[in-house]
Amino acid sequence: MCKKVLGKKKNKTSPKNINHSPQIFTRDQHPVSRSLISASALKVLYRLNKAGYEAYLVGGGVRDILLGLAPKDFDIATNATPEQIKALFRNCRLIGRRFRLAHIVFGREIIEVATFRGHHESAPQKQQDCQKTSKQSEHGMLLRDNIYGSIDEDAERRDFTINALYYSSADFKIYDFANGISDINAKKIRLIGDPETRYREDPVRMLRAIRFATKLDMDISEETRRPIKALAPLLENIPPARMFEEFLKLFLSGKAYSNFHLLREYQLFRYFFPIVDQALNNNEEPYLLAFIEQALKNTDDRINNNKRVTPAFLFAAFLWYPLQKHISQLHAKTQLTPQDAFFNALGEIMSEQQRSIAIPKRFQAVMKDIWILQDKLNKRVGKQAYKAFEHPKFRAGYDFLLLRSEIEATAENTHLAELAKWWTDFQQNNHETQQLMIKSIVKSGATQRRTPRKRRKPRNQAAKSSE
């Protein structure tokens, strides 16, 4: 076991934008009120204080209230170790190897509590030598980091100045260690410390800079954005599972359209979708950019109107045209049936995509259904229309068809627009009218009919005729 030391020490190599004597804002100088803080978070703060520990609401919870926003999460920082926290709360579970955290569960709400982080060089030698405490990769990325310290060291270890704000429920004051309130007022996203070093410690900070800029309507400061393009390849070292989590934060937060364009501007998008990025840069598909942009706008609208969304729809949109290109190449080179060509292309596209983002199987299944429905929705003769209509993912497939028709329909190519309108009308009419609509398809010949197969002669008859 490694002994954990929480003594307050000043680090000689502290970042220039960190103050060991923080700016202190009293209750009459800030809008943070207990009425704006989760009751569960207050319970945790009070119990930690009552047990003799320091405890602060920290990061986004404080930042968002200062900006007039409703915080989604209330995180707490304390000088109590994870084991000490667990001893105080029966509803606590300890998680994480890279960062050891305490999750205190109140029904569906989880309050995350972290012990103050310390500096590697200021930790006792025994603590530095312990493999379970701290570990870095050859690229400088922190793989494990459980060095504990004081509140000012913890502030230095935080990523952005606007997140190094600590609110105390004991004296109702805000402690600002990195001029975060000044940057909030100036609408600046600024890293604490040397940006290159901080990005190497955790390359995902480049993605967080973009996400905070769009979410908070702020600009990334010059020194913070300058190294991003050069250090972008560091994202190749991030596990695909973590990239999936970052995808959700960037594209399912109501700011997908803005994040997409900033990711492309800073050359970070390729580490999410390398195939798509290449196609966009080479202008391989005329509809691709407009299709993705409209899908992102639609997703943002749904999220901002409190409607349900699934990441599977966006994944299907991003990869639709690369999939179609791959299918066309297979048809040109092989004699595969349309179904075999589809599943062959699907396997190869997904296998390559999984190297960047680990898409869970439950979302892969929905993507496949959306794509298969594009063919099924085109077949409306007899019972085929009802089979497509009764498919569990019909609505997602139909929305995808609407999106395609909006982007691809032209004066010369009206098929998709007519197909989308037919399915819109089909849903709105009763059974009798639906039957008439299907019969009208047969009369007009609008749906491709199957070509009858030629019956093969038995082998013995074929041999006699050849004699």
Burial string for 109-132 (b: 16+ CB within 10 Å, else e) reads: eebbbbbbbbbeebbeeebeebee
Q: Of these residues, 64, 75, 145, 152, which one is catalytic?
A: 75
Q: Which of 147, 133, 113, 142 is nearest to 204 (CA)?
A: 142
Distances (CA, A) of 433 to 47, 429, 430: 66, 6, 6
Q: Of these residues, 145, 152, 159, 183, which one is catalytic?
A: 159
Question: In the annotation, is 73 catalytic?
Answer: yes
Angle subtended at Cα 239 by Cα 233 and Cα 242, rounded to the nearest 5 degrees: 105
Q: Of these residues, 73, 194, 219, 399, which one is catalytic?
A: 73
Burial string for 12-31 (b: 16+ CB within 10 Å, else e) reads: eebbebbeeebbebeeeebe
**C-alpha count within 13 angstroms, C-beta hemisphere, residue 432:** 0
Distance CA 27, CA 30 (A): 6
Residues in the chain, total: 467
Catalytic annotation, residues: 73, 75, 159
